[in-house]
Amino acid sequence: MNTFSALALAAALTLTSASAGLANGIDALGSATSVSITTVSGGSDNILLSSGGRVMEQVDLGTLRARVQLNKAIAAQLERYGVTADDVIGVTGSDPSDVTLFVRG
């Protein structure tokens, strides 16, 4: 195996491992009954660092917003907060009891 192939393989394995770890919040959202909601100022979607210093997971916003809409308890919580699933721009968390949704403020 030449040096370029070895580096490409190492990069691909690193990316695969990182990608597998990034889905925690979106997976945990499916069975969460409540979430923390953090408002993020600015116009950017899916920024990785919120103004409060929390790091958001890199996710597909369409998938994230669909999961939010499917979870009726979370959708209702967002509505009480004054936002909708369309305002959600990020997520973080490792299990259903510690999910944080980031919304555009």
Give residue-wise pLDDT tens across range 51-96.
Answer: 555 567 788 889 999 999 999 999 999 999 999 999 998 888 888 9
Residue 94 and residue 74: Cα distance in Å, rounded? 16
6 domain residue, yes or no: no
Domain membership flag for residue 19:
no
Q: Is residue 33 part of a domain?
A: yes
Q: Has residue 35 got a pLDDT over 70?
A: yes
Q: For position 52, what pLDDT does the model report?
A: 56
Query: How much is the average pLDDT of 28-38?
Result: 91
Q: Contact 18/12 with Cβ under 8 angstroms?
A: no
The reply to whether 4 falls in a domain is no
User: Environment class of residue 26 by beta-carbon count within 10 Å: exposed (0-12), middle (13-18) or buried (19+)?
Assistant: buried
Give the strands of the sheet with 88-92, arranged side by side.
36-40, 100-104, 88-92
DSSP secondary structure, 5-50, as one string: HHHHHHHHHHHHHHHHHHTHHHHHHTT-S--EEEEE-SS-SS-SB-
Answer for the pair 54, 95: CB distance below 8 angstroms, yes or no. Answer: no
In this prediction the pTM is 0.70
Parent domain of 71: 24-104
Report if residue 86 sits inside a domain: yes
Q: What is the mean pLDDT of the chain?
A: 76
Residue 59 falls within a domain, yes or no? yes
What is the reported pLDDT for 101? 92
Report yes or no on 14 lying in a domain: no
The answer to whether position 77 is within a domain reads yes
Q: Is the pLDDT of residue 11 over 50?
A: no
User: What domain count does the chain have?
Assistant: 1
Q: Which long-range contacts (CB under 8 A, 24 or more apart) does 62-65 make?
A: 63/26, 64/26, 64/29, 64/88, 64/90, 64/91
